[in-house]
């Protein structure tokens, strides 16, 4: 009987170690999130360089060129926002808590972030970025082929359909989880 107990204890200990290793593997994502912070620095540099270019050439740019430059700046900001959501939200959801609950600058959305909320926020950010690109395309339509504009519109519509599908799937999952009868335990 003792050998059976020892065997069970050994198996439980091995399962526990395996679980600990698997759980600790989430830290392999840390370099990825740190890399995204570096990419945010790249976008900050790109924004400042583009703003400087706009300001230094302001007297020679046409109204359309100014509008396209401003949309380019907005695009950089939206991509930086997307990077921030992925970095902060992803780290908080998949790696570890940030422990900034009492910080006065804590983003409101971070209180209720989870994988589902993050997916919807990211899809909305991608649609917003795609919208800016589409607006740039229409403003610059005289310099683009109809085929290029058509493909950009189709891609944007693809993003919209994907976001709607994600939102619908999350709604179904949410309603299924919250309408299930309580377990008899």
pLDDT at 180 over 60: no
CA–CA dist 124, 122 (Å, integer): 5
150 occurs within a structural domain: yes
SS3 category, 56 = helix
161 located within any domain:
yes
Asked if residue 185 is part of any domain, the answer here is no
Q: In which element (H, E) is residue 90 found?
A: helix 90-90
Tell me the average pLDDT across 55-78: 93
Query: What's residue 90's pLDDT?
Result: 87
Residue 92 has pLDDT above 80, yes or no: yes
Using pLDDT thresholds of 50, 70 and 90, give the confidence band for residue 117: confident
Range of the domain at 48: 8-179
Does residue 32 lie in a domain region? Answer: yes
pLDDT at 18 over 90: no
Percent of the chain with pLDDT over 70: 90
HSE value, Cβ hemisphere, 13 Å, CA-based, for 106: 16
58 falls in which pLDDT band (50, 70, 90)? Answer: very high
Tell me which H or E stretch contains 92: none
Domain count for the chain, please give it. Answer: 1
- Residue 172: inside a domain: yes
In this predicted structure, what is the pLDDT of residue 172? Answer: 85
Q: Is residue 2 part of a domain?
A: no
The pLDDT assigned to 150 comes to: 94
pTM above 0.85, yes or no: no
Q: What is the arithmetic mean of pLDDT over 72-101?
A: 88
Domain-embedded: residue 184: no
Has residue 65 been placed in a domain? yes
Q: What is the pLDDT of the chain when averaged over all its residues?
A: 86
- Residue that is written with structure tokens 């570096």 in the block: 38
């Amino acid at each position: 009987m003792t050998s059976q107990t020892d065997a069970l204890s050994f198996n439980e200990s091995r399962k526990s170690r395996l679980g600990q290793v698997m759980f600790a593997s989430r830290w392999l994502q840390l370099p990825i999130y740190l890399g995204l912070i570096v990419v945010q620095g790249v976008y900050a540099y790109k924004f400042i360089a583009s703003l400087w270019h706009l300001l230094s050439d302001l007297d020679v740019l046409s109204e359309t060129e100014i509008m396209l430059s401003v949309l380019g700046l907005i695009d950089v900001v939206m991509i930086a926002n997307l990077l921030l959501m992925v970095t902060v939200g992803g780290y908080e959801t998949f790696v570890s808590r940030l422990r900034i609950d009492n910080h006065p600058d804590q983003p409101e959305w971070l209180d209720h972030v989870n994988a589902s909320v993050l997916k919807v926020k990211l899809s909305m950010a991608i649609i917003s970025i795609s919208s800016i690109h589409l607006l740039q395309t229409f403003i610059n339509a005289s310099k683009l082929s109809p085929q290029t504009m058509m493909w950009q519109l189709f891609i944007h519509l693809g993003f919209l359909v994907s976001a709607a599908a994600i939102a619908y799937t999350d709604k179904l999952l949410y309603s299924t989880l919250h309408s299930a009868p309580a377990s008899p335990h």
